[in-house]
Structure 1
Amino acid sequence: MRTSLQAFFLLATSCLLLVNCRKKQWDDYYGRPAGLESPIYQVLQSKGGFTSLLACIDKAGYKDILSSAGYWTLFAPTDEAFNQYFKDHNISSVESIDVETATKIVRYCLVYNSFNTDRLDDYQSTTGWQADQAFKRRTTYYDLFDTAMINGQVLHTIASNRNGSIYSTSDNNNKYIPYFTNPFFTTAKLTAADYNYFYPGSSFTGLNILDAKITESNVAAENGNIHIIDKVLSPLQNIEKYLASKPEYSLFNSLFQRFMVAYIENVDATHKYQVLNNSSDKVYVKFYKDGLAFSLNNENYLKLQDNDGQMNGYTLFAPTNDVLEPYLKNVVLEHYNNDLNNLSKLPLQTLFDFLNAHMWQSPVWPTKFATTGNYLGEEARFNAATDIVDKKILSNGFFYGAKKVQESNLFFTVYARPYLDPQYTLMTRLLNADLKSVITNPNFNYTILMMSDDQIHALGFDWDGNRSAWINTDPNALGAGDPKGTTARLINLSVISTPKNQLNNLTGDGIIETMGGEMIKWSNGKFYAAGNIDKGNVVNVVASKAMKNGMVYYTDGLLLFSPTTIGKRLEALAPSSSSPYYNFVQYLIKSKLYTAATGAISGVPLGFFGTILIPDNAAIVQAVNDGLLPGTGTAPNKVPNFAPTATQEIEQVSSFIQFHIMKKSVINDEKTKDGIETNYRNLNDQVGLITVTNDPGVLTFTDPWGRTAGINAASSNVLADRIVIHSINKYLKPNY
């Protein structure tokens, strides 16, 4: 028995020693390191001076969270900061702060992940840290449910957490907290002036969070980092909430709320609400329409990367009611009886464009107005010193209240005249295809001739929305077989680049190149193109409007292109020997280059842009006597032989004609100069070149032999199908 007891005690002692040894090994490996800091809550306790903050943490239910494992950054206001907060809010102590307010204070100052000041301004991209690119961090605070009165019914709502019609049920739409550091400001090329523009009562220290200063940084804790600040911070409003809270922007806000918002029931949000509130009510996500630069209630950025909100945000410029109302009436609603009640009659795209002109998918810093483009690609056209009456950094971006409307290119350039007028929807559609980006550039001047829907319909064309195609409504119309090509050509005839304001004064006459490369002419308030010559009519200007980048003319008709081939046009110009073109045309129509049935000229296909230089009759006779063209008789009294039979003479005629056809339309506009290719090539396959001198009031053409011809003004600048015809006083000699 005694032996058994001894054995038992020996076994028990061995087990105890074994357990103690294993516990020591466990503690050595897994136990809390001796030098490890306490958790955030306990660090605040031991450090002292955070009684009010700790009380708020207790009320918010975050004591356990901040006393246990985790990975946090806390911006911790001191008791002194809370004393100022009590004074500002007319309360006596932390006991007067309710649970909801305490929760807001704690959660907005608590940031996911632990960041010391070396990492605070680095962006956490998917490819790694990007140094000094960030000025915000996502906090633990988010607003959840809200209500909205829609059609007399109160709806429970939740904000969209993406732009457009997307909603992520796993994203709480957490708010961001902004801060401002020297490294970030240096990288972004910002100065203290950018900070003080928003916070004029605070000094920029290079380590600010909102209008507070970080007075002590990088206080280590087991579960994160603490940065001590000198002010109690409350959650910032987002752009939507701030805009709605300010009655001076109510008209601008109404454009969003009336036309850009939709409420869509969401099953997951409804379930969450019902569980939290023991309710059977439904919840609707408040979406902003696709097509806007961003959703005003979206706390996230674009979410192209999970953390892209650290380095980016939105900007909204909101015009005050007193400047917006007259602008809407006089500009946007000019053709809708200048009546705000007709806003609903505007095309939705017009409202999109107007709002997007005031929206930026980036922060617009005060010193960067001129270099930061909005959703339409335009800089902020405001004077930061005189036009801005309100400025705020908010949770999802910057807000500027302005006593001015953004002077958007879409509403101030020549494009605006058809775009904002419901009688010119077809012209607007044509411009949008290719010319919109051109004529909305405020740095270049243009002249446009308006094309009303009625005028386009009368010509025999319309837009078929069901087929998304231009259609012909009259089989006998000009260009009926190609509605798309015809309407495109017509719009290009009606838009002219006028860098020197050449068409601001229509007295006198002249010729000018249109955007399509074709020439048109004007004479004392009248315009005409080659097709108008065919029909024997002109286009009369009946009204005009000066815009930021040019002139707009309203007319009683349309400029038309000519379906007549160049050969038939030349035949019509030279019906008898009294025509200055007669001798040249006779050589042409009897040459091997010409097809009499159609008027086609070899080397001059449909769509050819060029210039035909026609030596006058005397010059042709001189060419005959100089041996460049076939003739009969003896020099110097030879006369033209328009129908030679000898092979050499037939080729001689072809070469002469081809050398007088240039592959570019040339008028006296000081543009085209130097060597221009012709249709002629010699036996060595060398291109025939004509040198153009195009100076004010001077247009001459010089051949490779140094022979120079000038134009006969009275019979030059003749319009044809994409071709201009000049009568010249000398012939030009090819480079044989």
Structure 2
Amino acid sequence: MYKLLKNLFLFFCVVVFFGGCRKEAFDAYYGRPDNLQPPIYQVLSIKGNFTSLLAIIDKSGYKSTLSAAGYWTFFAPNDEAFKKYFTENNTSLAAIDSTTARKLVTYCLVFNAFQTNHIADYQAPTGWVANNAYKRRTAYYDGFYTDNGPDGPATVLLSANRNANTFVFGDNNNKYIPYFYSSYMSSKNLGAADYNYFFPNTPYTGFNVVDASVVNKDLIAENGVIHEIDRVIQPLPSIEQKLAGNTQYSEFKKLFDRFMVSYILNNDAASRYNILTGKTSKVYIKQYAALLAFALGNENYVKAQDNDGQSEGYSMLAPNNEAFTKYLNEVILEFYGTVDKLPSSIVADLLNAHLFSTTLWPTKFSTTNNFLGEPGRISASNNVTDRQFCSNGIFYGTNAVQQANVFSTVYGRAYLDPNYSLMSRVLSNMKATITNPGLQFTIFMVPDVTLRSLGYDYSTATSQYTYTLNGTTTSGNGPRDNLQRIINLHVISTPNKELNNLNSQGIIEAYGSEYIKWNNNTVFAGGNLESTNASYKAIPVVNSRDYSNGRVYYLPAGAMLYPTGTVASQIAVNATTPTSPYYSFYQYLINSTAYNTVAGEIAGFISGANYTVFIPTNAAILQAVRDGILPGTITNNALTTASFNPASVDDRAKVARFIQFHILNGISIAADGQKSPNGAGFPTFLTNSVGDKLELIINNQPNNLKVTDNQGRVATVVNGSASNYLGTRTLLHQIDNYLRYNF
């Protein structure tokens, strides 16, 4: 028995010995390395100057998190920072409750570990983008809160975590913390002025976090990185929270609440709220309309990429009540009268003028565009009275309104007056052009009552333009295009303010490449000349108003109309008798193969194309007969008779070529010195034997338009009623010589 016990003892010793050896080998291979730093909580303990922070961490419930495995960046306030905090807030360590402690800890706790070698770099899906980040997502989020909503002031809400009426359940809408690192600031041409604009009492050191300075960086821990800071940082408000927190912006905020906010019930959120609180309240998502640049409470930026909030944020200019109310009443509501009547598009433009989908740095106001594509037009030094770096961007409280082009340019006159709703709707098609403050325009205002009297309207039920004639209404592209053409006649580019004086007379090209004329404070287009209504022959201009990029005139008694007749019929107007200025040319035309007898139009003319027709005087036509260019007879070397309807094929072809060589194809040129002032060639309707269009050289000086044919002969436009005549997308000019071609 003794021998058995002895053997068992020896066997046990051997097992223990070899087992211990294996454990030592296992620990040596898999055990915690001796040179590995302890976790964040323990590193803070070892440092010895974070006693207040450690107590706060204990209260927050985050001791185990910061003592365990993980991958964090912690901006850690030292004891001196907490001394300042306690003094400035008249509190003490003992007075801080767990909720406050959790805020202080989690807002300084950033997901992922970032040393200074990457703190300024953006984490793109493809890798690091150097010096392109100034924020990081924190462990802090607001979550559920109560505010005014469908269920009254105690409505349970969640802020939208995406833009454009979108919410993603499970995304906590974590707040971001901004920091200001030297390499990022330098790469964006930013500096101390940009930082101290928000934090004037904190020196810019090249590594600041909110209003704190980093005094000891890159402290490595097992579960992340610590950057020691000299101030305690509290969670920053979102732009939405900042706007709501100050009543001096309440009038501005009202427009968001009234027109751009919706409350959407969310059952998933309600279930989560019930689990957390035991309450069965309804939960609504506070969302913002897709018309708006961004949802004010969205902490995630665009979320086109998971981390895009690191590199960008939103910005808001919020005018105070005095400035905003004055602008609202004097500009926006001048014709609408009350806010209730405002279309949502006007409200959206007004609000979006103050919203930037990017970071608006104080030194970059004039070079950073808002959501409407316009730079900041207020002064960062003179107009900003309140400034706040927020968790999702920057908030500027201002004593001025950001002037939007849609309101301050000529476009704004129709846009802001419900009496011009049809014109405004059509003008929106050229909005980008006529709202450009760098261009000058003149617009003749046509009220809805006039356009409706012409048969035009718009159906909101079908979203289509309509045209009514003799009790029959049509809709679709035809009425839309015709109304667009009418409105085009009333929009004129006037870079030299050519129409600021309508006392004289003249001609000018309108937006759609058709021409209008003015004469002694009246205006008209080709369609007015065709009208059988005497009162429509010339439309009186009544009053004017200047805007930032031009002038508007009022036409209360009519509108300019486009012509609908054929160009041939318009030539005929001045060809009724043998002494009429276009008579001989017209007679040759209608008897030639250059005339389409079925259409009653010049052969080859295309609807919608532009032309210029040079019509020689009757005397010049006879000279062409004498020169053998046109068919006719000459008696005793003196009496010349034109043969308007020659019998021979050759003579008929000769007439057709003559007509075609007097027509510019694809362009209307007025004798106003605008097009081709220095001389240029333009194709005619005449094609040579190899298929090339022959050209005429146009040299266009004001009231002195000269045409040179391809034999070097010159004809001059005869100023008077027979020139600059308004045809259908065509100008007719009398010339004092005929044009001769080499064929």
Q: For structure 1, which segment, 231-240 or 148-157, has the greater mean C-alpha deviation from structure 2 after superposition?
A: 148-157
Aligned to 1:600: 601
Once residues 370 and 479 of structure 2 are traced to their aligned partners in structure 1, the CA distance between those partners, rounded to angstroms, is 36
Aligned to 1:474: 469
Once residues 264 and 598 of structure 2 are traced to their aligned partners in structure 1, the CA distance between those partners, rounded to angstroms, is 67
For 1:666-689, what per-residue CA distance to the aligned partner results, in whole angstroms no more than 9, with x for missing partners?
113333211111101122333211
Once residues 408 and 695 of structure 2 are traced to their aligned partners in structure 1, the CA distance between those partners, rounded to angstroms, is 44
2:572–2:582 contact (8 Å) kept in structure 1: no
Aligned counterparts, 1:251-290, within 5 A:
251-290=251-290
Once residues 701 and 248 of structure 2 are traced to their aligned partners in structure 1, the CA distance between those partners, rounded to angstroms, is 57
Aligned to 1:667: 670
Letter aligned with residue 274 of structure 1: N
Once residues 144 and 477 of structure 1 are traced to their aligned partners in structure 2, the CA distance between those partners, rounded to angstroms, is 59
SS in 2 for 1:489: helix
Structure 2, unmatched stretches of 5+, are none
For 1:374-397, what per-residue CA distance to the aligned partner results, in whole angstroms no more than 9, with x for missing partners?
111111111222122222211100
Cα offset, 1:242, TM superposition:
0.8
Aligned to 2:319: 319
Once residues 385 and 79 of structure 2 are traced to their aligned partners in structure 1, the CA distance between those partners, rounded to angstroms, is 34
SS in 1 for 2:218: strand
2:175–2:392 contact (8 Å) kept in structure 1: yes
1:508 and 2:515 matched? no
Aligned to 1:685: 691
1:460–1:477 contact (8 Å) kept in structure 2: no
The 1:303/1:544 distance shift into structure 2, 3 A limit, reads same
1:733 and 2:740 matched? yes
Letter aligned with residue 145 of structure 2: D
Once residues 131 and 478 of structure 2 are traced to their aligned partners in structure 1, the CA distance between those partners, rounded to angstroms, is 57
Cα offset, 1:405, TM superposition:
1.0
For 1:610-635, what per-residue CA distance to the aligned partner results, in whole angstroms no more than 9, with x for missing partners?
11000111111111111111110244
Letter aligned with residue 216 of structure 1: N
Aligned to 1:629: 630
Once residues 707 and 479 of structure 1 are traced to their aligned partners in structure 2, the CA distance between those partners, rounded to angstroms, is 51
1:493–1:516 contact (8 Å) kept in structure 2: yes
2:362–2:380 contact (8 Å) kept in structure 1: yes
SS in 1 for 2:503: coil
Cα offset, 1:550, TM superposition:
1.0
Cα offset, 1:478, TM superposition:
12
Aligned to 1:499: 495
Once residues 606 and 261 of structure 1 are traced to their aligned partners in structure 2, the CA distance between those partners, rounded to angstroms, is 48
The 1:253/1:478 distance shift into structure 2, 3 A limit, reads closer
Q: 1:421 aligns with which of 417, 421, 429?
A: 417
1:625–1:636 contact (8 Å) kept in structure 2: no
Cα offset, 1:485, TM superposition:
2.1
Aligned to 1:301: 301
Q: 1:643 aligns with which of 624, 640, 645?
A: 645
SS in 1 for 2:248: helix
SS in 1 for 2:517: strand
Once residues 424 and 25 of structure 1 are traced to their aligned partners in structure 2, the CA distance between those partners, rounded to angstroms, is 88
2:149–2:263 contact (8 Å) kept in structure 1: no
Once residues 455 and 472 of structure 2 are traced to their aligned partners in structure 1, the CA distance between those partners, rounded to angstroms, is 6
Q: For structure 1, which segment, 209-218 or 278-287, has the greater mean C-alpha deviation from structure 2 after superposition?
A: 278-287
Aligned to 1:696: 702
Aligned to 1:654: 656
For 1:250-276, what per-residue CA distance to the aligned partner results, in whole angstroms no more than 9, with x for missing partners?
111111122211112211221222122
Letter aligned with residue 446 of structure 2: M
Once residues 667 and 109 of structure 1 are traced to their aligned partners in structure 2, the CA distance between those partners, rounded to angstroms, is 70
1:441 and 2:443 matched? no
Aligned counterparts, 1:146-185, within 5 A:
146-150=145-149, 152=152, 154-185=154-185
1:617 and 2:618 matched? yes
Letter aligned with residue 94 of structure 1: L
SS in 2 for 1:627: coil
1:613–1:725 contact (8 Å) kept in structure 2: yes
Q: 1:364 aligns with which of 360, 363, 372?
A: 360
Aligned to 1:143: 142
SS in 1 for 2:318: strand
1:721 and 2:722 matched? no
1:118 and 2:117 matched? yes
Cα offset, 1:562, TM superposition:
1.2
1:409–1:442 contact (8 Å) kept in structure 2: yes
Letter aligned with residue 565 of structure 1: T
SS in 1 for 2:118: helix
Aligned to 2:542: 542
Once residues 72 and 638 of structure 2 are traced to their aligned partners in structure 1, the CA distance between those partners, rounded to angstroms, is 104
Q: 2:717 aligns with which of 711, 722, 726?
A: 711
Once residues 388 and 443 of structure 2 are traced to their aligned partners in structure 1, the CA distance between those partners, rounded to angstroms, is 42
Aligned to 1:336: 336
For 1:189-211, what per-residue CA distance to the aligned partner results, in whole angstroms no more than 9, with x for missing partners?
22222112222222211111112
Structure 1, unmatched stretches of 5+, are none
Aligned counterparts, 1:576-591, within 5 A:
576-591=577-592
The 1:475/1:661 distance shift into structure 2, 3 A limit, reads farther
Cα offset, 1:449, TM superposition:
1.6
Cα offset, 1:283, TM superposition:
1.5
Once residues 258 and 692 of structure 2 are traced to their aligned partners in structure 1, the CA distance between those partners, rounded to angstroms, is 68
Letter aligned with residue 270 of structure 2: T
Q: For structure 1, which segment, 48-57 or 602-611, has the greater mean C-alpha deviation from structure 2 after superposition?
A: 602-611
Letter aligned with residue 20 of structure 1: G
Cα offset, 1:441, TM superposition:
0.9
Aligned to 2:54: 54
Letter aligned with residue 213 of structure 1: S
Aligned to 1:101: 100
For 1:646-696, what per-residue CA distance to the aligned partner results, in whole angstroms no more than 9, with x for missing partners?
222111111111010012101133332111111011223332111111123
SS in 1 for 2:117: helix
Cα offset, 1:548, TM superposition:
1.0
2:615–2:735 contact (8 Å) kept in structure 1: yes
SS in 2 for 1:713: coil
1:570 and 2:576 matched? no
Once residues 14 and 423 of structure 1 are traced to their aligned partners in structure 2, the CA distance between those partners, rounded to angstroms, is 104
SS in 2 for 1:551: strand
For 1:57-94, what per-residue CA distance to the aligned partner results, in whole angstroms no more than 9, with x for missing partners?
11111111111111111111111111111111123x31
SS in 1 for 2:469: coil
2:717–2:735 contact (8 Å) kept in structure 1: yes
Cα offset, 1:561, TM superposition:
1.0
Once residues 608 and 269 of structure 1 are traced to their aligned partners in structure 2, the CA distance between those partners, rounded to angstroms, is 61
1:478–1:563 contact (8 Å) kept in structure 2: no
Once residues 146 and 683 of structure 1 are traced to their aligned partners in structure 2, the CA distance between those partners, rounded to angstroms, is 83
1:625–1:637 contact (8 Å) kept in structure 2: no
Letter aligned with residue 343 of structure 1: V
Letter aligned with residue 599 of structure 1: G
Identical columns (%): 46
Aligned to 2:346: 350
1:461 and 2:456 matched? yes
SS in 2 for 1:507: coil
For 1:686-722, what per-residue CA distance to the aligned partner results, in whole angstroms no more than 9, with x for missing partners?
3211111112332111112221111111121111111
Give TM-score, length-normalised by structure 1.
0.96
1:76–1:227 contact (8 Å) kept in structure 2: yes
Once residues 259 and 592 of structure 1 are traced to their aligned partners in structure 2, the CA distance between those partners, rounded to angstroms, is 64
Once residues 528 and 474 of structure 2 are traced to their aligned partners in structure 1, the CA distance between those partners, rounded to angstroms, is 14
2:369–2:376 contact (8 Å) kept in structure 1: yes
Once residues 210 and 468 of structure 2 are traced to their aligned partners in structure 1, the CA distance between those partners, rounded to angstroms, is 64
Cα RMSD between the aligned structures? Answer: 1.7
Once residues 542 and 336 of structure 2 are traced to their aligned partners in structure 1, the CA distance between those partners, rounded to angstroms, is 21
SS in 2 for 1:482: helix
Once residues 459 and 341 of structure 2 are traced to their aligned partners in structure 1, the CA distance between those partners, rounded to angstroms, is 21
The 1:39/1:561 distance shift into structure 2, 3 A limit, reads same
1:381 and 2:377 matched? yes
1:121–1:132 contact (8 Å) kept in structure 2: yes
Cα offset, 1:12, TM superposition:
1.7
Cα offset, 1:605, TM superposition:
2.3
Cα offset, 1:566, TM superposition:
0.8
Letter aligned with residue 322 of structure 1: E
Cα offset, 1:440, TM superposition:
1.0
Once residues 630 and 477 of structure 1 are traced to their aligned partners in structure 2, the CA distance between those partners, rounded to angstroms, is 50
The number of residue pairs the alignment matches comes to 730
